[in-house]
Amino acid sequence: MNVKERIAAMRSLMKEKKIDVYYIPNEDDHLSEEYTADYFKCKSYLSGFSGDSGCTVITQDFAGLWTDGRYFTQAEGELKGTGVKLMRMRQPGVPDALQFLIDATPEKGVLGFFGEVVSTANVKMLAAALKQKHASIVLSEDLAGQVWGSERPKMPEEKLFVLEKKYTGEDAKTRIERVREAMRANHADVLVLTALEDPCWMLNIRGNDIACTPVSYAFAIVTAKKVSYYVDSAKLTPEVRKYFKAQGVTVRPYAAVAEDLMGFHDQIIWADLSKLNAYLYAHLDTSNSVLNAKSPIELFRAIKNSTEIRSTKHAHVKDGTAMVKFLYWVKQNVSKGNMTELSAQNKLYALREAEKDYIEPSFETIAAYQENGAMMHYTATEDNYAEVKDRGFLLVDSGGTYKDGSTDITRTIALGGLTAEEKKLYTLVLKGHLDLMAAVFLHGTAGNNLDILARRPMWNLSIDYQCGTGHGVGHVLGVHEGPQSIRNFLPTAARPSHVLEEGMIVTDEPGIYLPHKLGIRIENELLVVKETKNFYGTFLKFEPITYCPYDVDAIDPQYLEQCEVDQLNAYHQMVYEKISPNLAGKEKTWLRKVTRPITK
């Protein structure tokens, strides 16, 4: 079936079930906000939009796809001819998707969705609002799954593996005790772990259920005396079974988590209702009290220990080596006329794969030539790619997951024939990137307090990049991690602001995106470190831990301050010292050339 036929089938089922409005989010049963297994990609199946963000809403006379500014250009193309309307999130006149559900549900009407992929927090909010309209909610019908039918992908059954203590710095028993200390401090009897990364971090376990994210579909429940891990038995190797037994972990079937939740009575249960799906919440006995708060592991994961920091820096040296080899390859081969976005991304995949302890990409590589660079999450495919010519820009956003750390880096490469305007735009992006990287700030500062440093050069041209400036990065986990971020939007309950703490890692990635013309983005990872402590408090700063040169061929120094030139030269000297020992011959000579000091 094509998209129109799928939506028609949905509407037929909605009529049969007497459902007026049906909501299909991007999330899985763990409420993952971005990357999910193919099994859960119902939003994309129904709308035809392949991006990892947003939701689809269907009524009898409307079908809409909500997504954010990173995907507007991509969505325009993918939705063309489908009858699905693009709803540009956070743009004037575009209602919030959940508010649209409330408004679109008629008096005494019915709103439907599948409760396993919608959070308890959202269900409570929707139920309260719809009560005013005497409307009801049906959350037991997976209509999208019924339309998809036998063609729907199966749930993954990839094997688990143990991440050794030499990479994590703590064994599982130590981490479990840290979790129990947090439970005691918050007077919680039971902690329900639903975010995919949390059990992985606590137990030093990793999986391969989601492309580019080394996690496994699993839940965990922690009490004062027991840790239960819920996972499909097909994922357990003999070594992992032995490991769990040694750590005192009880392994239970994946689906048994609902049954076990029913067994708690008169307990204080710690669960983040924004991460606990409505189906599981319905299994909690009313005698329990719910402590609705974020899992303590979210902050434990975000603040890296000394071993994780050392390991991550080592991963970045390997990653920087692969990136420098890639940049050299692009510069030497682009004029030969046989380069495409696809061959470029495949070359970079191969270079990373050659590095020691490499696991997989940390996300799908974005290798986007000229106008394709304006689509922030564009990915070339076998059926859709552009030739790369010796003029303009190639934007490459990529990363690797290694046993010692995860990386995320963007470089925009000058291929030749840049105009004065293109050089100006590149330099202004670099200026914002450098200015944020140079920030010194008091402890208590959150990312939204610093965002203007990166955005100011673009705002001075009345240009905005319509997305956040930076996100946290997990340690051999998700490449996008909270609670820390750098963004200009006002904090909300769904996206609260969080103080930047020593040991956190954030990205610094401003950009300029001119639809159907070009895209420029420059990204490093930054480690939050201590600057000094004095009468005024504790000052923090950023240490760049991405080691790869910027493109000096694209820089127009007249737009940089002398302090920015000095900062750029110092960074390039560090890159050469870190990466050159891993190179030889022409590659090493080229790196020396492109990290040479520049002047105004």
CA gap 458, 436 in Å, rounded: 13
Do 132 and 216 share a structural domain?
no
Do 400 and 266 share a structural domain?
no
Q: Is residue 337 part of a domain?
A: yes
**464, 376 Cβ separation under 8 angstroms:** no
Q: Is residue 335 part of a domain?
A: yes
Tell me the residue type at 563: C
Q: Is residue 156 part of a domain?
A: no
**286, 264 Cβ separation under 8 angstroms:** no
Do 322 and 290 share a structural domain?
no
Do 73 and 108 share a structural domain?
yes
Query: Each residue of 367-419: pLDDT tens digit?
Result: 999 999 998 888 898 988 999 999 999 999 999 999 999 999 999 999 998 99
Show the domain range for 25: 3-151
Do 42 and 177 share a structural domain?
no
Q: Is residue 400 part of a domain?
A: yes
Q: Is residue 32 part of a domain?
A: yes
Query: Each residue of 330-359: pLDDT tens digit?
Result: 999 999 989 999 999 999 999 999 999 999
Percent of the chain with pLDDT over 70: 100
Strands (DSSP E) found in 233-344: 249-252, 268-270, 289-291
Across 239-251, average pLDDT: 97
Percent of the chain with pLDDT over 90: 93
Q: Is residue 599 part of a domain?
A: no
- Give the side-chain half-sphere CA count within 13 A for 594: 24
Q: Could you tell me the pLDDT band of residue 70, with boundaries at 50, 70 and 90?
A: confident
Do 204 and 85 share a structural domain?
no
Q: Could you tell me the pLDDT band of residue 576, with boundaries at 50, 70 and 90?
A: very high
- Mean predicted lDDT score pLDDT of the chain: 96
CATH code of residue 317:
3.90.230.10
CA gap 316, 526 in Å, rounded: 11
The number of distinct structural domains making up the chain is 3
Do 377 and 336 share a structural domain?
yes
Alpha helices in 303-401 (DSSP H): 306-333, 341-353
Domain boundary residue among 110, 132, 151?
151
Domain boundary residue among 294, 322, 347?
294
The whole-number pLDDT of residue 11 equals 97
Q: Is residue 58 part of a domain?
A: yes
Across 486-493, average pLDDT: 81
Cis peptide before 238 (omega within 30 of 0): no
Q: Is residue 112 part of a domain?
A: yes
CB atoms within 10 A of CB 125: 14
Across 504-517, average pLDDT: 96
Q: Output DSSP code: residue 376.
A: T
Do 333 and 187 share a structural domain?
no
Do 431 and 316 share a structural domain?
yes
The whole-number pLDDT of residue 477 equals 97
The whole-number pLDDT of residue 494 equals 67
Q: How far apart are the first and last CA of the chain?
A: 59
Across 278-289, average pLDDT: 97
Do 332 and 251 share a structural domain?
no
CATH code of residue 45:
3.40.350.10
Across 509-534, average pLDDT: 97
Domain boundary residue among 231, 261, 294?
294
Do 97 and 59 share a structural domain?
yes
Query: Each residue of 9-53: pLDDT tens digit?
Result: 999 999 999 999 999 999 999 999 888 999 999 999 999 999 888
Q: Does residue 489 surpass a pLDDT of 90?
A: no
Do 220 and 118 share a structural domain?
no
CB atoms within 10 A of CB 500: 26
Q: Could you tell me the pLDDT band of residue 69, with boundaries at 50, 70 and 90?
A: confident
Least confident of 29-43, 264-278, 427-441: 29-43
Q: Does residue 491 surpass a pLDDT of 80?
A: no
Across 546-571, average pLDDT: 98
Burial class (CB in 10 A: 0-12, 13-18, 19+), 260: middle
